[in-house]
Structure 1
Amino acid sequence: MAERGPAALPLPQLRARLREARAGRHALQPPGLAQPLRDAVLGSAEGSVRPPSPGSHANALLRTEAEMFEKWYHKMEPSGPSLQLLTEMQDATPELMQTRGRYKSKLHGAMDYFVGLTVEQKCELAERELAEMKDEIERMKEDSEQTLQNLEAVIEEADVWWTDVKKAMNDFEKDIISTISSKKGSIIASEKLLRYMEEKNRQRDLLREKLRLKNYLLKGYKKKLQQQLRQKEQMGETLCEVRLQELQVRNAQYQEQIDEKNQELLQLKLTSGKTVQVFNFYNRKLQDAMETSTSLMKDISQRKELLEKIEREAAVVEEQRAEAESVNRQLRKQLSDYSVPHVLSYVQKKMAITELKNNLKGWERKVAVAKMSMQSYRRAWNQVKMSANEH
């Protein structure tokens, strides 16, 4: 199965791989020179178990030396006479290679003369190979260090981004999801969601403007540095090796300071995130307290209105009570002043009332008879009028 790239790995596995790479970058050795040493070490370590084969160490050294010389041979162009002659000899036809006698001896002499290397030349080649290996190792170290720094920066950015994402998720769940899950929170949740999206858009616009200004300033600083570099190149100033080392030392110091500042910035970001969380918590508590205060104020106003209504009703009841007391006093006064009439006068008045009632009934009968007579007279009169109109 294909190996997954660093970008596709999770953060814990990526951190573990970075630690392994950092631990193993100091153990880099030249591949051509480390093999015979490894063979020698393995041979000495396995000597207690099995006897070493004769000449294995010497063969490994000779193999390494041959690889080194072959490498240098491929690097050099065949421009010299010795290399041209060696190339012609290697490219010769089989008929020429089968020639005997003095030609063969001359060719062997030429090969011995042109191909052979002295000990000093071999040492020089070995030193050059070692220097190139060291330079290559340094370049590999620098590249790996740069790669590690880039990956660490990516991991740090991913951690900060993930922290912001988790905080935003928690805020969204607390502010919006909890309100939506309640029975009477649909309208409030929609308003909160709109405010939440507006706030996020505003923060994104502010961050974009901030990054744009920072990018503009960095571009200006880059142009300034490029202009200074062009001026120095025009003036013929070159950085010597001592100056370069000094700049490298300063660069390392500045890099350490930048790392420290980045750590401080990360701590400040974490502290700011915690502070924002605490602020949001107390802000929500304040909003709850304001809502409770609003409901209590409404309740107080309703109770005040009810109290005023009760006071008005109590005043009306008090007035009615006063009127009832006055009527009661009058009735008591009348009751105290009341005197019972004699029995004879009562009987007489009763008889008078009965007589009046009988008279009233008689008059009512007379009125009814008069009404009936009037109706008959009216009908007769109408008939007379109708007959008069006909004639």
Structure 2
Amino acid sequence: QTRGRYKSKFHGATDYFVGLTVEQKCELAERELGEMKDEIERMKEDSEQTLQNLEAVIEEADAWWTYVKKAMSDFEKDITSTISSKKGSIIASENLLRYMEQKNRQRDLLREKLCLKNYLLKGYKKKLQQQLRQKEQMGEALCEVRLQELQVRNAQYQEKIDEKNQELLQLKLTSGKTVQDLNFYKRKLQDTMETSTSLMKNISQRKELLEKIEREAALVEEQRAESERVNQQLWKQLSDYSVPPVLSYVQKKAAVTELENNLKAWERKVAVAKMSFKSYHRAWNQVKMSGNQH
């Protein structure tokens, strides 16, 4: 009954703390499971104790039956055989009386022994019952203490939950502001990247233009050097040039004219010689042909 009251109080406390956290519910469930395991263990121990008691009773009955059979055998051997062989004998009567007295003494000793054992067992039973009552009382006290501890822990956990909720709210606000700043800097970074890409492209184009200008400048420098060299040669030739005398010019002009006339005369002579060569060649061919015919 005490255990039943303890369970009902514990279940009532569980119903009372429906709003507990998951950790507290798990703790209560673990305690309930532990108590159920303890109850099962106690039932198992009680069953084992009952089984041991029954085995002890059976063993005692077997021992008693063995004792009875031995007593019957002794009675048959010591008394019945003596009476059957010595009917009406005083010795047989004395043996029977002595046997009965001995059995009575043994029975008295056994009764005293069993009474003493029963007394000791009753004392042990009383002691166990007292210990059981003390444990049940301690269990009820522990239940009350546990309920108070759970109430205190629940209040502490509730305060911690409120603090964590406030921290979470503050973190959410900070996170929202951080996200806004991050988006702003992302857009700014995107604009900067686009500007940087445009500048890099412009720099590349200007580098190409600069290389082209440098190549053209080198080519112009070469042309300028060549022109300067030619100009120097011309200036040198111009400085070395002297106008010939008029008579010498006329003589050379006349010599050139004479040479041209001679050239034309020789050209005519060559033409005449070619014509003569052709006529001679035809005549020679005719001579060869006529010689071949003869």
TM-score normalised per structure 1? 0.33
The structure where helix makes up a greater share of residues is: 2
Bigger Rg over Cα? 2
